[in-house]
Every structure is written in structure tokens, then in C-alpha cells.
Amino acid sequence: MEDLYNHLRGLEEKLLQPETRKSLEALQQLLAPSFFEIGSSGEVLYKEGITPENIGVVDMELYGFEIHPLSEEIMLTTFTVDNHLTHQRSLRSSIWKRIRGKWMMVFHQGTIAKETYKENRREL
């Protein structure tokens, strides 16, 4: 389970990286065909509507990562993100599904947290 934990955490962190967010090809490889997201803004995005321009480059730090098996092929991940650009903290959840041997995100949700953002958090 530790290998899966590290793999899924790595995929979540990859989705926060500028080089991934700027690349439609990289995004296509990580997001399942049926992917949709309920953003912390309240906006719903579907895979076909996601472009590097509308998701933007971010400076976010992920911590408190957990995985919750829903089945052998489906995992729920939960974590917290501090956005260093907006100084907001959000609670995140994603559903990952193994499709043809590859983990792909099928759903993501971000919710603005009541807990306040802390500068220089390094609790990873």
C-alpha cells in the first residue's frame, strides 16, 4: 500500500506543477476521459473544457495526504493545499481509477477551508 500511496501522491503533486499545468498533453495523460472537477470557486469543469490557460500556473503546497481504497481499482485521495499566490487553504479530494493498468483521475473537488493559511508551512 505504501507504493500506491507514494504513486498517487506523486500524481497529485505532478498536477500542481507548472510544467504539467501548461501542457495539454500532460493533462490528457493524467485525466480520465470522464473526468470532471468541482473547483473551490464553485465552477464545474469537464475534461474537454480544461486547457492550460483556464487552469493556470499555481504555487501550491500539498500536505496531509491520505488514500482511502474504494475498491482494488478505485482510490479516493484527500489532502490539504496551501496556495501561496492567493494565501488560501483548501481541502481537496480526488478519485483515481486504474484504467488499462494506469491510474487516472476521474473526479476532483476543492473546498476553501475555514482553517487559515499559514506562511512558510513545511509540514510535509
Q: In the CATH scheme, what is the code of domain 2-112?
A: 3.10.450.50
| HEC string for 58-100 | CCEEEEEEEEEECCCCEEEEEEEEEECCCCEEEEEEEEEEEEC
Question: What does the pLDDT look like over 74-121, one tens digit per residue?
Answer: 999 999 999 888 888 999 999 999 999 999 999 999 999 987 776 555
Q: Where are the domains of the chain?
A: 2-112
Summarize pLDDT for 8-48 with one digit per residue, the tens: 999 999 999 989 988 889 999 999 999 999 988 888 999 99
CA 114, distance to chain mean position in Å, is 19
> What pTM was computed for the model?
0.88
Q: What are phi and psi of 117, to 5 degrees?
A: -65, 140
